[in-house]
Structure 1
Amino acid sequence: MGTLQLDVTDDARTRQAHQALAASRVFGRPWYEPPSFEETAIDWRYEDKAEPKEIWVAEDGGQIAGVATLYLPMEDNTWLAWFDLHVHPDHRRRGHGSELMERMAERAAKARRTSLITEFKVPVDAPGHEYRRFVERRGYALNNTEVIRHLELPVADAHLDRLDAESRLRWSGDYRLETHVNGVPAPLQQSLCDVMNQLIVDAPTGDIEFEPESMTPERYAEQIDVERRMSRERITTVAIDDTGDVVAYTDLVMPSGMPTTVFQWGTYVHREHRGKRLGMAVKVENLRHLQATHPERRRVATGNDGTNSWMVSINEALGFRVVELCPAYQRKLS
């Protein structure tokens, strides 16, 4: 046994790591579609200078049994690190997870981080789940919990029409909606980045207080290009005020290796433009575009903190149902 940093340029080793990752993610989750090797390899090989990542693996008999990905923000929230940990179900209870967790703590401490965060998916009805016990024994404390919901597609047009009509009573005439595929035009990118950067500040995050993120138009364009190379598609609907700035947005992302799944990424309304049902408006418009262009997709998956009553009410009105939980645990390093 032992841990080492993965050479992501080695196709054979990267494929082994992807297989362990996929087997772990799908375990006990029959609806889950793992990302393709090609998508994963492009993601792991992309060097984001604002948030570099390290891929570490645990070996068992020459085979990769576990994978941990460590993220180190460099331009915002530089006091923390966060990681994702997976061990192949066939190689569990042999110490691989423990070794990788300690390696993550060592690397985060070396990078002068004072807090280390991890999260994972568990069933709704399992408060004492083994994943929780595993991290709690290693000094992690529960910080907050997201509720994962699925929306089965298609949503009836009549239902979307009703929700749209109700929201338009509040915002029509003051804003316009635009939907873009694989990135918004350059004139909208700065104001979009401005609202994206506030999401982590305003969304409920338990006891952790985050500072605004540092997305820039240049970094946004880089990420869109990476998604293009991964054959992902991102659908973005924005609300634009009379100054021409983005004041609300929502993203739906379709990984190529997950042929029936759509991920709901960020949704945010600028605090000065709330109370006008713009959150519902952009979500409905995005769903309409999705269903018109991708009838093969069968579900949308999203996660929200259980205390985020505003977003939860929108999702419930759309028809999302609870599937699992995603607890986030924190370990203080100093």
Structure 2
Amino acid sequence: MTAASTPRTTTTDSRPSDRRGDVVVRPLAVHDDAEVAAAHAAREASSRHERPWAKTWSLREMAVQLRSDSSVERLEPYVALVDGHVAGMALLWFPLLDNTSFTWLEVDVDPAWRGRGAGSALAERVAERTRAEGRHTLLVEVNVPDGARADHPHVRFAERHGYSYANTEVRRILGLPLDPARLEALAADAATRHEGYRLESYVGALPEALRESYCACWNQLAVDAPTGEIEFEEEALSPQTYAEELGRMERQGRTMVHTVAIAPDGDVVAYNDLVVSADDPEEVMQWGTLVRREHRGHRLGMAVKVRGLQELARFAPQARRVQTCNAEQNAHMVGVNVELGFRRVEAVLAYQRHVGD
């Protein structure tokens, strides 16, 4: 089980360890390099098990994430010890500015240590923490092969611990490099539909003049994208928290490639974000694409994606793949991805567990 791969941050937890059978669950010692490395190894083994396309955090990315403070989210990390060995870890995020009835979680156990109770002990610890903090719902994502949605071990694990199915996204991968002529043709075709808008790409930070409207656009993604049975509030990214996140990304060795569509009044009305990691430059993550509702019908979704891929080819010619996820029912954005050449590799199932009154 893994949670959505959005960027998160941490505080430490001084609560005592919890023994369940032969498993000890306790807060991860975030400033202990050896323990962080052991937890990273367990998470890496879990994420890559039978998933050759898995995009994981480098040790540096994870260490920075664990040791950073955030005004947006609080992260509580836990480890499960079996015979003194770090067999697995859980990450539990508490949104602080929006969607404050939820927690987000990941539970990962090294396949070599599965079947010893580490996953169950971690799952129950984070449920207890969610309830204790007055939150009502835990959210988790489960990565499974497309044809094994009903009976995969991860699905059975989630259901055994009280989670119910909420939504399905499909992970797709685009192989790189792409034919520049084909991208130019797609861009030219889209341009016939969005006269009056201009496209701009930025490696790293957006200009300050664009940040407020970009954040307003970005905040709509949680409520505009199909989310099945989960009801999200609009998010609360601001120019200040955007700058905070960029600083953390810089320490992690990550670079954002922003592409925006700007309306005649100067506001960002569509965007596409790609993230390149210095520690894994061949694997690029697409974090989000959105076109504001009142500006749809102008092929801006295709336009910002194509322009982003063109900028990516200039900035990171070593990149070999881009990953993205879209809800199955998001027919328009799925159609754009298929036209670009993305191929589906797995289902990403959202599950939720209600623990409040």
TM range (shorter): over 0.9
Equivalent-residue separation in structure 2 for 1:180 and 1:292 (angstroms):
12
One-letter code of the match for 1:286? G
**C-alpha deviation, 1:244, in angstroms:** 1.1
**C-alpha deviation, 1:17, in angstroms:** 0.6
Percent identical across equivalent pairs? 46
Q: What is the TM-score when the length of structure 1 is the normalising length? A: 0.98
Matches within 5 A, 1:217-256: 217-256=239-278
Equivalent-residue separation in structure 2 for 1:289 and 1:41 (angstroms):
29
Match of 1:3 in 2: 25
Match of 2:346 in 1: 324
**C-alpha deviation, 1:75, in angstroms:** 1.1
Equivalent-residue separation in structure 1 for 2:164 and 2:216 (angstroms):
32
Aligned pair count reads: 333
Match of 1:146 in 2: 169
Equivalent-residue separation in structure 1 for 2:217 and 2:185 (angstroms):
27
One-letter code of the match for 2:163? Y
Equivalent-residue separation in structure 2 for 1:34 and 1:219 (angstroms):
24
Match 1:44 to one of 57, 60, 66: 66
For residues 6-26 of structure 1, give each alpha carbon's deviation from its aligned partner in whole angstroms, at most 9, with x where no partner exists.
Answer: 121111111111111111111
For residues 83-116 of structure 1, give each alpha carbon's deviation from its aligned partner in whole angstroms, at most 9, with x where no partner exists.
Answer: 0110001100110000000011001111111111
Match of 2:152 in 1: 129
1:86 aligns with 2:108: yes
For residues 151-209 of structure 1, give each alpha carbon's deviation from its aligned partner in whole angstroms, at most 9, with x where no partner exists.
Answer: 0001111221221111101102x111110011201111111100111100000000111
One-letter code of the match for 1:99? A
**C-alpha deviation, 1:257, in angstroms:** 2.2
Structure 2: segments with no counterpart, 5+ residues = 1-22
One-letter code of the match for 1:27? H
CA gap of 1:310–1:33, structure 2 versus 1, over 3 A, is closer
Match 2:129 to one of 99, 107, 115: 107
Equivalent-residue separation in structure 1 for 2:124 and 2:117 (angstroms):
11
Match of 1:98 in 2: 120
Equivalent-residue separation in structure 1 for 2:212 and 2:255 (angstroms):
21
One-letter code of the match for 2:69? E
**C-alpha deviation, 1:241, in angstroms:** 1.0
1:30 aligns with 2:52: yes
Equivalent-residue separation in structure 2 for 1:185 and 1:61 (angstroms):
52
Equivalent-residue separation in structure 2 for 1:110 and 1:33 (angstroms):
32
One-letter code of the match for 1:36? S
**C-alpha deviation, 1:125, in angstroms:** 1.5
Pairwise CA RMSD of aligned residues?
1.0
Match 2:197 to one of 155, 175, 178: 175
**C-alpha deviation, 1:32, in angstroms:** 2.9
Contact 2:281 2:316 (8 Å CA) reproduced: no
For residues 265-314 of structure 1, give each alpha carbon's deviation from its aligned partner in whole angstroms, at most 9, with x where no partner exists.
Answer: 11011111111011110110000011122121110000000000111011
One-letter code of the match for 2:162? G
Match 1:271 to one of 256, 276, 293: 293
Equivalent-residue separation in structure 2 for 1:229 and 1:42 (angstroms):
7
Equivalent-residue separation in structure 2 for 1:234 and 1:70 (angstroms):
25
1:293 aligns with 2:306: no
Contact 2:275 2:286 (8 Å CA) reproduced: yes
SS at match of 2:146: coil
Match of 2:14 in 1: none
